[in-house]
Amino acid sequence: MRSSPLGLTVLSLLHLQPLHPYGIQRLIKQWGKDQVVNVSQRASLYRTIDRLLEAGLITVRETSRDQQYPERTVYDVTDAGRTTTREWLREMLVAPRAEYPEFPAALSFTMMLLPHEVAADLSARASQVRSQLAELEASAEGARQLALPRVTMLEDEYRRAVLTAELDWLDAVTSDLRSGALTWDFESLAALARSAS
């Protein structure tokens, strides 16, 4: 089985205690891991659990039925799952992967818009980034009040650093767009593309 952020999350949480899928999903949200792992659809969590089970990385510990709830299957991590968790974690920490987020893809074709449109859009993005930074700061304050160990919030530190760098870049580019230091002409770019083909 190939590593995945959600697979790593499930394995890591099962290291702490055996859990059923609802318990896994609840812990992901309680610990704020839903900010770094996509669990917006419950089906993706169940698919990941099925793949981990097929790969022998987790096992069914028990299945119980309560009159108030549907049947619940509790999963536990296997020895192979413990080994795999460490391997995936170290691989993800060491080796940057080629990821293809949509923002850089959109940036690569900003020439399709007018400079003042791009300035407005990047300013709007900067406002959203500022809001995200404020949310992260509030989360950090909550962690400090709960006396959570720093290691439990490293992903938030990283996200804060990345968002701060993005905000600095957005402000600089927006400034260049507004001053005219960064501009373009679509027809000139189209002519350049035609001459290259």
Residues 86 and 17 in one domain: yes
Out of 94, 125, 160, pick the residue that ends a domain. 94
The whole domain housing 133 covers 102-196
Q: Which residues pair with 62 in a beta bridge?
A: 74
Out of 46, 65, 94, pick the residue that ends a domain. 94
The pTM (predicted TM-score) of the whole model is: 0.77
Residues 44-80 have pLDDT tens digits of 999 999 999 999 999 999 998 777 767 889 999 999 9
Residues 6+ positions from 112 with CB-CB distance below 8 Å: 186
Residues 89 and 11 in one domain: yes
CATH number, position 60? 1.10.10.10
Q: Where are the beta strands (DSSP E) in 58-175?
A: 58-66, 69-77
Residues 140-162 have pLDDT tens digits of 888 888 888 888 889 999 999 99
Residues 82-97 have pLDDT tens digits of 999 999 999 999 988 8
- Rounded Cα distance between 21 and 3, Å, is 19
Mean pLDDT, residues 18-41: 88
CB atoms within 10 A of CB 162: 11
Out of 34, 68, 94, pick the residue that ends a domain. 94
Residues 168 and 187 in one domain: yes
